Every structure is written in structure tokens, then in C-alpha cells.
Amino acid sequence: MWKGMGLTGKIILAMALGILLGLIINLFNLNTEGSFVYTYLTNGFFAIIGELFINSLKMLVVPLVLVSLICGVCGIGDIRLLGRIGTKTFFIYMVTTALAITTAIGLGVLLGIGKGMNIPTEAAFEAKSAPPLMEVFANIIPSNPISAMANGDMLSIIFFAVLLGISILMVGKPATGLVKSLELFNEVILKMVTIIMNLAPYGVFVLLTNAMADLGLDLIISLLGYVAVLVASLAFHFFITMMIILKVFSGLSVKTFLAKMREVQIFAFSTSSSNATIPITLRTVTKRMGVDNSVASFTIPFGATINMDGTAIMQGTATIFIANIYGVDLGIAEYLTVILMSVLASIGTAGVPGVGLIMLSMVFAQVGLPVEGIALILGVDRILDMLRTAVNVGGDAVVTAIVAKSEGKMNLAIYNDPEAGTKEVFDGHIDEDSEREFSEVFTDGIMGSEYDNIDRRA
């Protein structure tokens, strides 16, 4: 049965089995520290496989973003058009973030989550400080681009790639060879993504097994009101708000979009990282949805950095929940402050580890809520982080599709083809003709030149 299934089916089955096995391990208390399961399975073999899978995705992020974005800028050719795409993308990301947190606050207030709940409030939480907004803007221009790439500073990488692309355009015709080489390199990296995607079912299985083995159902049940409202807000924002925006501003089929995004969102759910999912998202919007690389290469990395719809929803829900538990009354002014802070913080904390909790502590401090209240929801944050990451990458793809369609940079034939991009799966075999051609090039070109040198020396 496994061999006959498509990649999407394998990933979905692996996700279901991982969740089931993790819950069984947790239910029977098999994951206690020092046990065989804990030492050799969840924190041993599974942890290693999961880490290797995530690292294999992260390995491709920087070279893919850098090369793809340079090619994208060269493909646009018009710097004014690049500025228009950038402005449009930034504006839509900010609007969707504001809509996301407004939805969360509205549902939280309507359902009154946290009121009358008997949860101990002595828990402690030490908030990490976020960098000042001015420092974030100042660091967009990297003093050392190699260091920025090594550290994965996405905004700095985007700036350097755009500047390099513009410079190549200014050189003009003499740089044609360089552009063609970069485009070929971009295709090679996308082939690497295809190879790694075939490992996805195994990576998804171990990551979800470990997550559910640690979390279990007891903690979720104790915070059921908070979890339910947060999940409902995430679902409403993506499946209702974002799909309406997609349909109204692009006219594209919502059903087709959701079908083609399924794999990407499972990846995002499993890894809990928008950045680690960039290679898969880029491949999906270009190969499966027909978005031109000149748009996708900018909007996807940019969105993974500043588009935090899922995180904004968590902030809104958590604010209402903690305010009700501590008996703090919030007015319209405080709610507007939360919305504004979330939008600004999505820029100001871009690329910072633990960004969700840093942003939440900033919001709490601004509206007068005790920051230590974050400790009450910390236990379930792992599973909810997985859900909001799936919403984040979904939002990136929606905005990318809207911008591409509005700029005439989308191949609708590819978008409407349900099989587009699905046949490109690495099965372990390399085309015999290609292998023979490369062998001949190596023998006749490289080895031939060595033989010539030997003959000359002789």
C-alpha cells in the first residue's frame, strides 16, 4: 500500500500515525525520564532523525533564497516594478496581520475565555527582551553579508540579494552568462528540495511522535477554552478571511489553492518553522501554482520573516485569556494598542528566536498585564506553535498568489492543473542519457585536458 501512495498521502498517513503513537506513549507514561523509550526512542533515534530532517531543510534556505531572489530581480528587469511589488507585498502582509489579531480578540471577548477558571497563577516566566525597532532597521544592511548568511538573518540576506540583482542588471549584457549560471544553480537547488521532500513522511512521523509524547491530552484539556478559541481563530482566519481575500483580489480557485498547499502546511506543522519551510513553499508556489520566480523569490522569504498572522492570533487570544484570569478589564484603547503592537512587533522581532513569546511579553507590558501569566499557557505552546506556523505559511502563499496575479506574473495553466509539479519526484534513479552526457563531458573535457598536460610534459 505504501509504495502505491502519492507523496501527499504518505505525509498525511505519517502525520496521523505520529500523533497516534505519541499519544499512546504519553497515555501509558512510557516517556518518563530514564526509561527505555525516553532514552533510546523519543530522545534518541527519533530525535536524531527529526533533527536531521529539519537541518536538511534549513541547509537549503540561505542558498535558495539568495540565488532565487537574485534571479527574480534580474527576471523583473525593472527596478520600479520591484519597488511596486515590494510595497504591495508589505502592505498586504500588514493588513492581514491586523485582521488576524482582530479576529482573535473578537472571538476571545465574545466567548469570555478564562473567566471563572480556577488556574493557579503563581507560575513564573522570564521574558526575553526584543531588539529595538531602530536596531532592526539598522541591521537590514549587513556589515558582513557572509556572516548574515551564516546566521540566517533573512532581512539582511534579502537586502543583499536585491542589491546584487540590481547591480547585475546595471552591468547589462556582459552579465548574461552569470545570470544563466545562477538560474541553473537555482534549478539544481530546487532538485535538492525534491530529493528531501521524499524523506518528508519519515521526518513528519518522528517529529509529531515526539511532540505528542511530550504534550499529551491532559494539558490540552486543562486549558481547553484557550486552545479551542485559538484553534477556531486560526481556522477562521485562514479558511474564511484569507480565502475570501484570495478570491476577491485574484479570482483564483480556493479549492485548487487549498489542495496544492496541503503538503506545505503539513511541513510547517511538523517543523514549527516558517524559515525551514521556505524551500517547500517556494517550490510549491512556482512549480505547482505557476507563480513566476521573480515574484515568489521575494514574497516568500519576506513573508516568512515578517508575516505572522498565526502569531498575532495567539497574542490576541492569550491577551484576553490572561486578562480574564487575572481580573484585568481591557477597554477599546487597550484592544487597539494590542492590534497596533502586534503589527509593529511582527517587523521589529523579525528573525529573533522564540519570536512568539517575545512579541507576547511586549504586548502584555504595553497593556499592563503581568508578564508571568505567559507561564500559564507555555505548556501548550508547542502544539499551538505548529498550528500557527501552518497558518503563517498559508498566508505567505495567499499574498504571493495575489501579488503575482495582479502583476501578470502567474501561469494560470499551471495553477489550474491539479497534476502540476506532482510528477517531479526523485525515485533514486538518474536519467541514463544525462548520466552518459556528464560522463562524456568529464572524460573528454576534464580528463582530456589532464592527458594533454601529461603529453606536453612528456
pLDDT at position 457 is 44
| b/e per residue 185-218 (b: at least 16 CB within 10 A) | bbeebbebbbebbeebbbbbbbbbbbbbbbbbee
List, for residues 111-162, the tens digit of each pLDDT value: 888 776 655 555 555 555 556 667 767 778 999 999 989 988 888 888 899 8
Phi, psi of 410 (to 5 degrees): -135, 135
Q: Which residues are within 8 A (CB) of 130 and not within 5 positions of it... i.e. 6 or more apart?
A: 345, 348, 349, 352, 358, 359, 362
Rounded to whole angstroms, the Cα distance separating 319 from 405 reads 36
Prediction pTM value: 0.80
Please provide the distance, in angstroms rounded to a whole number, between the alpha carbons at the two ends of the chain: 62
- Asked whether the beta carbons of 351 and 155 are under 8 A apart, the reply is yes
CA-to-CA separations, 411 to 71, 72, 92, 147, 200, in angstroms, rounded: 18, 16, 22, 37, 27
Grid cell at residue 388: 500557527
Report the chain's mean pLDDT, rounded to a whole number.
83
Q: Residue 451 pLDDT > 50, yes or no? A: no
Rounded to whole angstroms, the Cα distance separating 322 from 372 reads 10
Beta bridge partners of 291: 410
List, for residues 178-208, the tens digit of each pLDDT value: 989 998 998 888 888 888 888 888 988 998 8
Q: Residue 28 pLDDT > 70, yes or no? A: yes
Rounded to whole angstroms, the Cα distance separating 290 from 281 reads 12
List, for residues 343-370, the tens digit of each pLDDT value: 876 665 555 555 677 778 878 877 888 8
Task: Write out the H or E segment, with its range, that includes residue 360.
Answer: helix 355-367
Beta bridge partners of 194: none
How many other C-beta atoms lie within 10 A of the C-beta of residue 4?
6
Residue the block writes with cell 515568489: 296
The identity of residue 263, as a single letter, is E
The identity of residue 250, as a single letter, is S
DSSP structural state of residue 447: I
Share of the chain above pLDDT 90, in %: 29
Q: Residue 27 pLDDT > 60, yes or no? A: yes
Residue the block writes with cell 517531479: 424
Q: What size, in residues, is the chain?
A: 458
List, for residues 387-421, the tens digit of each pLDDT value: 888 999 999 999 999 999 999 999 999 999 988 87
